[in-house]
C-alpha cells in the first residue's frame, strides 16, 4: 500500500476544504439568483401595508420598529431608566435624525 507523505496529505486536506468553500460560494451565488418569489411576498406586504421595519425583535417597541423609535429609545421610559430588554443591548439607539429646524 502506498503511504502518502505528510505534506501531500496536508495539501489534500486543504484542497478538500477549498472545494467545500468553493461549493458554498457557488451555493450563495445560485441562491441569490432565485430570491424573487420568496422576497416578493415580503415586498408586496411592505408596499400594501406601508411597513417601515423588519420584524426581528418583538419584545419592545423600539426593537420592533427601530426606524420609528423615539430619539432616546433605550431610555424612553424616563431619563435614568436602565435598559431592561436583552435585545436593547443588540439594537443601538437610532441614527441621528432630522432635528426640527
Partner 1 sequence: MTPSLQRHLNILDFALSSLWRRKGKNLSLLAVYTLIIFIIASIVFFTQALKREAGLVLQDAPDLVVQRMVAGRHDPIPVSYATAIAAIRGVSEVTPRYWGYYYDPVTGANFTLVAADDPQLKPEAIAIGSGVARTSRISIGDFLPLKDLKGSPVLFSVQKIFPSASELVAADLIQLRQEDFLRLFDFPSGRATDLAVSAGNPAELETIAAKIVHDFPDTRPILKSEMLRTYDSVFDWRSGLVLVVLAVAVLSFIIFAWDKATGLSAEEKKEIGILKSIGWETTDVLLLKSFEGIVISLSAFLAGVSLGYLHVFFFSVSLFEHALKGWSVLYPEFKLTPVIDPYLICLLFLLSVGPYIAATVVPSWLAATVDPDAAMRS
Q: Give the separation between CA 41 and CA 87, rounded to whole angstroms.
A: 27
Q: Is the Cβ–Cβ distance between 81 and 72 less than 8 Å?
A: no
Q: How far from the centroid of its chain's Cα atoms is residue 1's Cα? A: 50
Which of residues 12, 14, 81, 83 is near partner 1 by CB under 8 A?
14
Which of residues 1, 2, 32, 80 is near partner 1 by CB under 8 A?
32
- Asked if residue 81 binds partner 1 (CB under 8 A), the reply is no
Q: Is the Cβ–Cβ distance between 72 and 66 less than 8 Å?
A: no
Q: Which residue has the cell 423615539?
A: 70
Q: Which positions lie near partner 1, rule CB under 8 A?
A: 5-7, 9-10, 13-14, 17-18, 20-21, 24-25, 27-28, 31-32, 35, 37-39, 41-59, 61, 63-68, 70-72, 76, 85-87, 89-92, 94-95, 97-98, 100-101
Amino acid at each position: 500500500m502506498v503511504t502518502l507523505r505528510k505534506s501531500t496529505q496536508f495539501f489534500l486536506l486543504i484542497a478538500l476544504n477549498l472545494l467545500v468553500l468553493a461549493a458554498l460560494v457557488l451555493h450563495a451565488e445560485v441562491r441569490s439568483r432565485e430570491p424573487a418569489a420568496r422576497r416578493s411576498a415580503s415586498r408586496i406586504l411592505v408596499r400594501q401595508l406601508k411597513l417601515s421595519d423588519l420584524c426581528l425583535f418583538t419584545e419592545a417597541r423600539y426593537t420592533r420598529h427601530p426606524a420609528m423609535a423615539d430619539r432616546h429609545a433605550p431610555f424612553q421610559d424616563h431619563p435614568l431608566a436602565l435598559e431592561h430588554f436583552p435585545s436593547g443591548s443588540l439594537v443601538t439607539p437610532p441614527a441621528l435624525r432630522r432635528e426640527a429646524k
